[in-house]
Structure 1
Amino acid sequence: MKKKNLFMMACAALLFAACSESLPDGGGDGGGVDNTDGEAWVSLNVRTGGTTKSLNTPTNTENGTENETKVNEMMVVFFDNHVDTPTPDPSVVDVKLWGSSDPEINTPGQGGGTATSAFKVKKTAKAFMVVLNPSTEFKTAATLTNAKLSTVNAAIVNTDVTSVIGAGTNNFMMTNAKGKLEPTKITDTGGTVDVEDIDLVTYPTAGEAESKPQQLTVDRVAAKVRLFADANYTGNSIDVATVGWALNVTNKKYFPMSERSKTWMETPAAGGRGTCISPYDIWKFGSYRKDPNFEGQKTSMPNIGASPYTDNYEFYTQADATATGKWSAATAGPSTGPNASKIPALYCLENTQEEADNYQAYTTHVLLKATIAPTGLKLPNDGGVYNGTTNSDADVDDSGKIISGNDWIKVGSGYYSYGLLIKYIEAELVSKYKSDDSDNFPTSLTTTFNTYLTYLKGKSVVDVDAVALLTKEAFTTKYGSSDSQIEAGAKELAESFKQAGVSTHGADIYGSVSYYKGGDSYYTIMIKHDNDEDNTNNKLGEFGVVRNSVYDITINSIKNPGYPTIPPPDTDKKDEEEEAFLSIEININPWTWYKQGVDL
């Protein structure tokens, strides 16, 4: 069974209350009255907790970093109603914005803060949205004339994660964790949870309001991913050196406040586990979220090289293979411990999808880059160790190992230096032309590599051409029929397969032939959110990166080579299919904490 740990959401808890300038007209909450008109007083207590907690080991806690929890600005947008009312698109009635030196923010802390001084708000406000460190785009939308919730919470497009974490990774935007407007009344009977939107309550004095604050939690808009890998691995006849990693297929859109949704596993009626995995989902709305491109991608975005796909997702191409600043070093060691939050990480915008769109082209995933060096190379026909020095092959050492960082070729399940591949082709041709039925003799390796040459020729790669094999009659006419003549002719013909353009062109893949330039190899690792313990595949919420969640991926082993080039996002490959060459163990961090172990 795959493990799952939950890292509690790094939340900011705001103690929120309103105060009336007039005496209450009765009221059931210690003298509180509903907002009606005029102005009221509000006091906030900001608590930015970066604490993490495993559900399996509740005492295992971890604070977030200072940069992940600091508050530089606070914005509160007030509305004249909630979303789920007869007026589904409430209007903005007031907007407040403060900087870090303003008393309304005061001193936020992890797990606890100091109450702010009271401030005035229009008494027509019935619901609110709190935004810490609002992005520039959000501030513009929130202050438009006659703005409504649909305006304020409209998808922010053509952007990246920098807009919600800051250029210095120290300005994390956070919004209502509920995914809807506050305030809320929650009744938890132990078996069921009842959630009721309630109107903002006011008090006659600022002091009374500050003594009866309302708590609110907020989520970071960004998701966080960490990769743990050793510097070296030993696989199936390969030595592996990890180079770096990146996040691929990242979202270019986000909702400031995204709607919560239950995963398949969180939905008992669908056959799932039935319990919500996020420990701070007090509403039991679900741990998953709906982003601006949540559904319909498979049918509406079939072409990754054109709009609308390119309007929605950022992805790596082969041009990024050697680009500066594109790859991050993996971290060695476990993801647990008191300093886990300080481990280098990559951040991205939330990216979720419906079950029908669980395809790699629409799912944020990890790209791992490694250098692969095949070992134990042998001469054909059980000829012993392929000694690079003896055979004048600069790509191979004396033990039959590809020198790390040098080119090599995979054909079918076999690993070769280019020089060794020519020797295998030569051996195959010798057998062919010595055969009594030469013209029907199978030359699978030769034919396969010749098909690769034809493919490169079709791509207009220079100095590459397919090789025309001679009939037995033509071969005998040109080289002779004695064993020594056949061996000499086969050697010459095999050498024609050694073409400069193949090496110059470098990394590529066609059919069962892969050319690994410099030994570079790439692995696609799908990030799991709510793991399927019952081995059901590609269910809703199984994959994706959700705001305020940190996903830890540990590379347990690398047994086989990956792709020789950065694989383009595949619109036809389902997320679960990578399980064929990945063994995944998931744990989850609420920042939420998700971990997974991977065998490659």
Structure 2
Amino acid sequence: MKINKFLLGAFALSVGFASCSNEEPIKGDNGGATDGEKYVTVRINSVGDIGSRADTDNDFEGPAEGSSEGNVTKENIRFYFFTADGMPFVMSQTGVNGTVNTNMVKPDALNVSNTNGDEKTSLEAVLVLGAPEKYVGNRPAIMFCVANATDEAAFEQFAQKRLDAIPDIEVNTPGEWSKFRMTSSTYKEGEGEGAKVIYYTDISDNVKDTKDAAMANPANIYLERLAAKMRVKGLGEYTVMEKNEDGTLATAQYKIRDENGTAITALKVNLLGWEPYMTANSCYAVKNIDKTWTNTSLFNGWNNADLHRCYWALDPGIVSPNNNTIPLYDNNKFKYGNYDENKPTENIVYTYENTSNQPASVTDRSTKATAILVKAVVKLEGSDEGIDMVEWGSDYFTLEYFKAIVVEAYNADKDVTNQATAKDVVLKKNTGADARSNTWYATVKGDDFKRFSNISWWQNGITSYFVNVEHLGSKYGVVRNHIYDYTFNNVVGLGVPGDDPVNPQDPKPSYLAARVHVLNWHVVSNSTILQ
């Protein structure tokens, strides 16, 4: 009878260590191998770039300096073992140098080594499995990994499950992003009937009779963050532009009526800040993809098995409710400013996957696609204050002058004792079923005067611009382990001056040695004109 022994050492990984120490793996009570014994060694590397570019020609970027985006500690990582047919491989509760919960193992020691001086690729922590327990006629063939779950219960939800049940597990968006949950990366391998979705590591050929043989033939474990990251550059002041028929831009000229007549003028818009909109409440713990997807059915380069990555995913379809309002007039919102690479932990937003909602255009507000909502203020040239302005009947007016026009029309139907002044005019939001979105109507002395309705009102110049987040291959959405890096470079039109989250009517990635790699962020960059 052969005896397979398992001893659990441990590791922790923090991507980007400033210095490393060389330590030997922890050995069991009988550190040398005996006839028939099989040992497992897990070696973890910080992977660096894993190739500088993907087929999609978008950059990769490491964890932000000063953040916990790449941190993994011995307290916050678990390994899950399965048999070749995907059944949980139940390990012994005794004789293991670590904590065992059925097929889940928590390591309990850190051993870091740097074998060739390359900090980016050679930081290694070694986990040794072995110990005097008999797993007669059976050994683990598959390994799955989870890091940075929120608590022990969140780790345990993966334990004692069949491998094929793992992709069905959902996790909720954390209240704060102090830990970055990671799981084994997902990608497609092969095509046609032989295609497989890979979200685990096959360790069947990496179990060796000697430690040295195992170290020379490590099984690689790749981890990817569940989070995506959004950031924006280009907030600030712009001259409002218009599009010519040939698509070129020109300075827009607005005719604005006030008590002095009609002024033809350019307008400025100051982009004040931004907020994420329609972010996911949950996602699958393991990236879900469809093995039937191809470059033709999805988009070219969506999968890269060589880099252990794919660039699209399925999601549970649960996003934050829109509550029928955009917080345009909430001074506590729109707190995110320009991203500064010298301050990489500021002005960023993390979110989970949202891919099931495909809007009709980049400015379409009618879906639950994840978007960037920008607050701005419209100003006259040379002014530091927002212009209180309305549009009615395709004409623009200062608010006070428009009130004077309303009063004049109101008083024309009243006798001398019922005359009103401009102070008696108040604009109310249109809320009727047939009302145009984000419009107002006039009241005088508290009475509706809907002769003046369908009014667009830039209250103190406040307006909003809306950008659905674009992925790759003409897809909208956010996918885990991606950075959505936006640069605004111009502004067309005056935006939408209201808080209805609908379209305006006029739309303006034996021993056993395994390396664990934390996949770097995949950057999707977009330069866009707000309109």
Write the distance in 1 (CA, Å) between the matches of 2:351 and 2:165.
23
* Structure 1 counterpart of 2:354, one-letter code: N
Q: Which moved more, 1:417-426 or 1:512-521?
A: 417-426
Residue 241 of structure 1: aligned partner? 270
Aligned to 1:44: 43
Residue-pair matches, total: 418
Q: Tell me how far 1:113 sits from its aligned partner.
A: 1.9
Distance 1:356 1:370, change over 3 A: closer
Q: CA deviation at 1:349?
A: 0.9
1:359-413 Cα deviation digits (max 9, x unpaired): 84321111111112255xxxxxxxxxxxxxxxxxxxxxxx8x6x62463323254
Identify the residue that residue 370 of structure 1 maps to in structure 2.
376
Equivalent residue number for residue 157 of structure 2 = 141
Structure 1 residue 417 corresponds to structure 2 residue 426: no
Q: Output the amino acid matched with 1:499.
A: V
Give runs of aligned pairs for residues 379-398 of structure 1, distance below 5 A. none
Matched, 1:329 2:271: no
Q: Does 1:562 align with 2:504?
A: no
Q: CA deviation at 1:79?
A: 2.0
* Percent identity (aligned): 17
Distance 1:106 1:353, change over 3 A: farther
Q: Which amino acid aligns with 1:138?
A: A
SS in 1 for 2:367: helix
Q: Which amino acid aligns with 1:267?
A: N
Query: Is residue 170 of structure 2 the alignment partner of residue 156 of structure 1?
Result: yes
Map of 1:467-546 to 2, 5 A cutoff?
470=413, 495=421, 498-500=424-426, 502=428, 509-510=439-440, 512-532=454-474, 542-546=475-479
* Secondary structure, counterpart of 2:403 in structure 1: helix
- Structure with greater proportional strand content: 2
- Contact 1:11 1:220 (8 Å CA) reproduced: no
Q: What secondary structure sits across from 1:560 in the alignment?
A: coil
8 Å Cα contact 2:78/2:105 also seen in 1: yes
Gap regions ≥5 residues in structure 1: 1-9, 13-18, 25-37, 84-89, 181-185, 294-310, 376-398, 430-466, 480-488, 533-541, 582-588
Deviation per CA, 1:533-585, whole angstroms, max 9, x where unpaired? xxxxxxxxx011000000111111123222223343x5xx6xxx99964xxxx
**Contact (CA 8 Å) 1:44, 1:104: kept in 2 or not?**
no
Specify which structure has the higher proportion of helix: 1
Q: Residue 288 of structure 1: SS of its match in structure 2? A: coil
- The offset of 1:127, in angstroms, is 1.4
Q: Do structure 1's residue 598 and structure 2's residue 524 form an aligned pair?
A: no
Residues 252 and 322 (structure 1), Cα distance of their counterparts in 2 relative to 1, 3 Å cut: same
CA distance in 2, matches of 1:369, 1:552: 18
Partner of 1:177: 185
Q: Which amino acid aligns with 1:256?
A: A
1:112 maps to 2:112: no
Q: Which amino acid is 1:71 matched to?
A: V
Question: 3-state SS of the aligned residue for 1:251?
Answer: coil
The answer (yes or no) to whether the contact 1:258–1:290 under 8 Å persists in 2 is: yes
C-alpha distance in 1 between matches for 2:284 and 2:52: 26
Task: Supply the distance in 2 between the matched residues of 1:105 and 1:124 (Cα, whole angstroms).
Answer: 27
How far apart in 2 are the matches of 1:195 and 1:154?
14
Summarize the alignment of residues 90-239 of structure 1 with structure 2, pairs less than 5 Å apart: 90-91=87-88, 93=90, 94-98=103-107, 102-103=109-110, 110-120=120-130, 124-136=139-151, 138-143=154-159, 146-149=160-163, 152-157=166-171, 159-162=172-175, 165-166=177-178, 171-178=179-186, 198=202, 200-201=204-205, 202-235=207-240, 236=252, 237-239=266-268
1:247 and 1:263 mapped to 2: Cα distance? 32
Contact 1:155–1:292, Cα closer than 8 Å, also in 2: no
- Residue number in structure 2 paired with 1:447: none
Alpha-carbon separation, structure 1, partners of 2:493 and 2:404? 24
Distance 1:49 1:258 in 2: 21
- CA deviations on 1:313-356 (whole Å, 9 max, x unpaired) are 254765844556542332178xxxx8695663211011111669
Superposition map of 1:72-87 within 5 A: 72=73, 73-81=76-84
Q: Distance in 1 between matches of 2:128 and 2:461?
A: 63
Residue pair 2:107, 2:127 contacting (<8 A) in 1 also: no
What is the rounded CA distance, in whole Å, between the counterparts of 2:167 and 2:32 in structure 1? 28
Equivalent pair of 2:60/2:521 in contact (CA under 8 Å)? no
Change (3 A) 1:502 1:59: closer
Name the SS for the 1:556 alignment partner. Answer: strand
Distance verdict in 2 for CA 1:62–1:148, change over 3 Å: closer
Q: Matched residues in 2 for 1:340 and 1:263: separation?
A: 42
**CA displacement 1:99-148 (0-9 Å, x = unmatched):** 6xx226779964332140412496532212112222335313124xx433
Q: 1:557 to 1:578 in 2, by over 3 A?
A: farther
Q: Distance in 1 between matches of 2:489 and 2:496?
A: 19
Q: What is the rounded CA distance, in whole Å, between the counterparts of 1:356 and 1:322 in structure 2?
A: 25
The separation in 2 between residues aligned to 1:91 and 1:56, in whole angstroms, is 36
**What is residue 257 of structure 2 aligned with on the other side?**
none
Pick one of 543, 549, 554 that aligns with 2:482.
549
Q: Distance in 1 between matches of 2:466 and 2:34?
A: 62
Write the mapping of 1:423-442 to structure 2, written as runs, cut at 5 A.
Answer: 423-425=404-406
TM value normalised by structure 1: 0.58
Aligned partner of residue 543 in structure 1, secondary structure: coil
What does residue 70 of structure 1 align with?
Answer: 71
Kept in 2: contact 1:80–1:92 (CA 8 A): yes
Letter of the structure 2 residue corresponding to residue 258 of structure 1: K
User: Do structure 1's residue 349 and structure 2's residue 338 form an aligned pair?
Assistant: no
Provide the TM-score with structure 2 as the length reference.
Answer: 0.64
The 1-side partners of 2:56 and 2:477 are apart by 25
Mind listing any 5+ residue stretches in structure 2 that lack a counterpart? 1-13, 17-30, 91-102, 241-251, 253-265, 432-436, 441-452, 509-518
Cα deviation code 1:508-533 (max 9, x no counterpart): 5257422233322122110111143x
Query: For 1:415 and 1:342, how far apart are their aligned partners in 2?
Result: 42
Cα distance change of structure 1 residues 224 and 241 upon mapping to structure 2, 3 Å threshold: same
Partner letter of residue 289 of structure 1? A
SS at match of 1:116: strand
1:63 Cα offset (Å): 3.5
The 1-side partners of 2:112 and 2:371 are apart by 37
Determine if contact 1:81/1:91 at 8 Å carries over to the other structure. Answer: no
Is the partner of 2:126 in helix, strand or coil?
coil
Would the aligned equivalents of 1:222 and 1:548 in 2 still touch at CA under 8 Å?
A: yes
The answer as to whether partners of 1:523 and 1:562 remain within 8 angstroms in 2 is yes
Q: Structure 1 pair 210/248, CA: closer, same or farther in 2 (3 Å)? A: same
RMSD across aligned positions (CA): 4.7
